[in-house]
Amino acid sequence: MALTQRTLLSVVVAVVASCNVAAHAQDKSIVVASTTSTEQSGLFNHILPEFTKNTGINARVVAVGTGQALDIGRRGDADVVFVHDRAAEDKFIAEGFGVDRRDVMYNDFVLIGPKSDPAKIAGGKAITAALAKIADAKAPFVSRGDKSGTHAAELRYFKAAGVDPTQSKGSWYRETGSGMGPALNTASSMSAYILADRGTWLSFKNRGDLGIVVEGDRKLFNAYGVILVNPAKHGHVRKAEALAFMDWLV
């Protein structure tokens, strides 16, 4: 009887193990930590169904700011990061958290503002001059304030203009701590200036009296990269599926 029980237990263990292996083999999925601007532009809704159709791999997107997306990668909670802050990306790789960065696409930033244009900057092309005038006029400006790629770019442009807007928090400079869409909603309700990526702006519906006031400066170039989270740092990273996603993108 004891022999029969041991035999039965061995069979059960073998069946459960084989089921787990089969389930893991069927679960072809990856986690992509990406930016809110990429998601809110509608890009993922357009391309991910095709990716799954072509490869059988499901991609689940976690949309946050670039800084948060890279932190997710550092923790090993994603297989791929898809972001747009080259300095932060290079640091992520130098720290050993990412490998095999690839250029994917680019768009540009645009400075959005109200039709009343209190800083008198509409039609200009120099982003630093425009931001300096906004600061001089103390015209309302909405910042994402979320350590995203867009937020990092905004702070770089202000610094180049000789302005530290964080010294004016709560007056003309308002941080939302939110993604691109909610920040644009805030700017619309306040008739304020805001830096946005063109893709999200084009898909944004609640514009109110906002429009593009500055565009075309070469400094506004906005490149996106995709990086594999280092499997040597996090052994559970689904390297094959992640590389299939990266290959498909580029």
Same domain, 202 and 112: yes
Looking at the domain assignment, is residue 75 inside a domain? yes
Asked if 123 and 215 sit in the same domain, the reply is yes
Return mean pLDDT, the chain: 89
Placement of tokens 């909405």 in the chain: 142
| DSSP β-bridge partners for residue 155 | none
Give Cα 13 distance to the centre of its chain.
Answer: 43
d(CA 138, CA 200): 26
Q: What is the pLDDT of residue 7?
A: 47
Assess whether 218 and 115 both reside in one domain: yes
Q: 151 and 183 share a domain?
A: yes
* Range of the structural domain that residue 130 is part of: 108-222
DSSP assignment letter at 12: H
Assess whether pLDDT exceeds 80 at residue 10: no
How far is Cα 134 from Cα 152, in angstroms, rounded to an integer? 18
pLDDT in tens, 190-199: 999 999 999 8
Q: Which two tokens stand for residue 128?
A: 């630093």
* Region 201-227 average pLDDT: 95
**Res 179 pLDDT > 60:** yes
Considering the domain architecture, whether residues 158 and 234 belong to the same structural domain is answered as no
pLDDT of residue 16: 41
Q: Which stretch of DSSP H or E encloses residue 26?
A: helix 2-26
Same domain as 186, residue 119: yes
Residue tagged 């679960």 (tokens): 27
Residue 66 lies in a domain: yes
**Is the residue at 3 inside a domain?**
no
pTM above 0.95, yes or no: no
pLDDT band at 2 (very low <50, low <70, confident <90, very high): very low
Domain assignment present for 41: yes
pLDDT of amino acid 22 = 39
pLDDT at 72 over 90: yes
One domain for residues 112 and 14: no
Decide if 243 is inside a domain.
yes
Is residue 26 located within the same domain as residue 67?
yes
- End-to-end CA separation in angstroms for the chain: 62
- Look at the block and give the residue holding tokens 């400066």: 217
For residues 176 and 145, what is the distance between their CA atoms, to the nearest angstrom?
Answer: 6
Number of structural domains (the chain) is 2
- Answer yes or no: do 149 and 118 share one domain: yes
Contact 127, 193 (CB under 8 A): no
59 located within any domain: yes
161 plus 75 within the same structural domain: no
Torsion angle of alpha carbons 207, 107, 125, 208, nearest 10°?
A: 0
Check residue 168 and give its pLDDT.
87
Contact 76, 229 (CB under 8 A): yes
Run of H or E including 225: strand 221-229
**Which of 18-22, 37-41, 140-144, 233-237 bottoms out in mean pLDDT, i.e. has the lowest?**
18-22
Which helix H or strand E contains 75, and what residues bound it?
helix 66-75
Q: How are beta strands 193-197 and 141-143 bridged, if at all?
A: parallel
| 120 in the same domain as 94 | no
On whether residue 51 sits in a domain, the answer given is yes
Backbone CA torsion sign across 57, 81, 32, 74 = positive
Residue 1 in domain: no
Backbone phi, then psi, for 140, in 5-degree steps?
-55, 130
Q: What is the CATH number of the domain that holds 63?
A: 3.40.190.10
Are residue 211 and residue 115 in the same domain, yes or no? yes
In terms of DSSP H, where are the helices of 95-197?
A: 127-137, 149-160, 180-190
